[in-house]
Amino acid sequence: MFTAPFAPSKPPLPKDLFGAIADLKRDLNAVILAHYYQDPDIQDVADFLGDSLGLSQQAAQTDADVIVFAGVHFMAETAKILNPNKLVLLPDLEAGCSLADSCPPAEFAKFKEKHPDHLVISYINCTADIKAMSDIICTSANAVKIVNQIPEDQPIIFAPDRNLGRYVMEQTGRDMVLWQGSCMVHETFSEKKMVQLKIQYPNAEVIAHPECEESVLRHADYIGSTTALLKCCQQSASQSFIVVTEPGIIHQMEKAAPDKQFIPAPPLNNCACNECPHMRLNTLEKLYLAMKNREPEITLPESTRLAALRPMQRMLEMSR
Ligand code: 13P
Ligand code: SF4
């Protein structure tokens, strides 16, 4: 007689996921922090939405017992660096980052050895191990401000994003040694398609994230972090915008300026690769399950956490 292999059936998800998440949030005394690149449903249940700087600031000041981080691994790790005694949950532990992966700690240690007199400024999009090897952390919102505070005669290594690094060099007039990492999403935008889009929408303002390549940024009317791009759409007199970053943020742009038009910049091929495949691993269902099961949890060796905390604190102080 054939017996089907035993497969435990999964308990059904609640019909009203939004309501169930609200209940869990209250029961756990949890706060949901979400990046703008998350699915709209996740953005809608978040207590705080922001760019990496805003989310770090929220993580530094929350009095919740549980932080549910709807973003990628390095962001949740940053929340843990700042909150060793809180439970930090990431809905999908596989939600990584190509930029963070482009800077392996062992290779970075050798790179640092070649420039022993350099101060290390690392973009927050890196692992806790890289943060632990850095002097100051920065984000796309404060990188220029932070580099401008470093004495002129102090040589600097900037890691891991070569595009943000080059943009900061242009803005500050500083020469820096750049680690050659990049974001797979922001390098997918093509100059050719950008120019075609500008011809198609001649009145649109081009707004871009500094993780894009120079060939794309040179066509931008405004360059800034995701929060800065969102503010730009609200404050600008323009009625239409070509948005050159991950299109998840358009959900907030449409909410903030419902009468304006937002055109996502297309990727090089006819794929959906302008969507971050890591960010999009998180779903509302996974967020609910993470809260219900209190896992996957972010943990860190205490020695790494303490070493990574120092440059994070310097960033928070220098961005005031
Ligand atoms: P910001 O959050 O600093 O705008 O950076 C965007 C990004 O790529 C996050 O991974
Ligand atoms: Fe990393 Fe780029 Fe995705 Fe941001 S958009 S999480 S930098 S891969």
pLDDT in tens, 28-74: 999 999 999 999 999 999 999 999 999 999 999 999 999 999 999 99
CATH number, domain at 266?
3.40.50.10800
Contact present, 67 and 54 (Cβ < 8 Å): no
Residues 24 and 43 in one domain: yes
The radius of gyration of the chain's CA atoms, rounded to the nearest angstrom, is 20
Q: What's the pLDDT band for 314 if we cut at 50, 70, 90? A: very high
Q: Can you tell me which atom of ligand 2 is nearest the CA of 125?
A: 7
Q: What separation in Å is there between the alpha carbon of 59 and the centre of ligand 2?
A: 19
Domain tally for the chain? 3
Both 90 and 105 in one domain: the answer is no
**Domain limits at 139?**
99-183+306-318
58 & 70 share domain: yes
Three-state DSSP class for 259?
coil
Give the model's confidence band at 4: pLDDT under 50 very low, under 70 low, under 90 confident, else very high.
low
Question: What gap in Å lies between CA 51 and CA 108, rounded to an integer?
Answer: 26
Q: Is residue 8 part of a domain?
A: no
**What mean pLDDT value characterizes the chain?**
96
Cα(41)–Cα(154) distance, integer angstroms: 45
**294 and 239 belong to one structural domain:** no
Q: Which residue CA neighbors atom 7 of ligand 2 most closely?
A: 183
Residue 269 pLDDT level (bands cut at 50, 70, 90) = confident
Q: Would 63 be classed as within a structural domain?
A: yes
With a CB cutoff of 8 Å and minimum separation 6, the contacts of 77 are: 127, 128, 298, 300
Interval 212-239 mean pLDDT:
98
Q: Whose CA is nearest to atom 6 of ligand 2?
A: 97
Within-domain flag for 7:
no
Residue 3 lies in a domain: no
Q: Does 98 contact ligand 2 (Cβ within 6 A)?
A: yes
Whether 2 maps to a domain, the answer reads no
pLDDT reported for residue 2: 54
**How much distance in Å is there from the Cα of 226 to the middle of ligand 1?**
6
pTM of the model: 0.95
**In the chain, count of helices (H) and strands (E)?**
15, 12
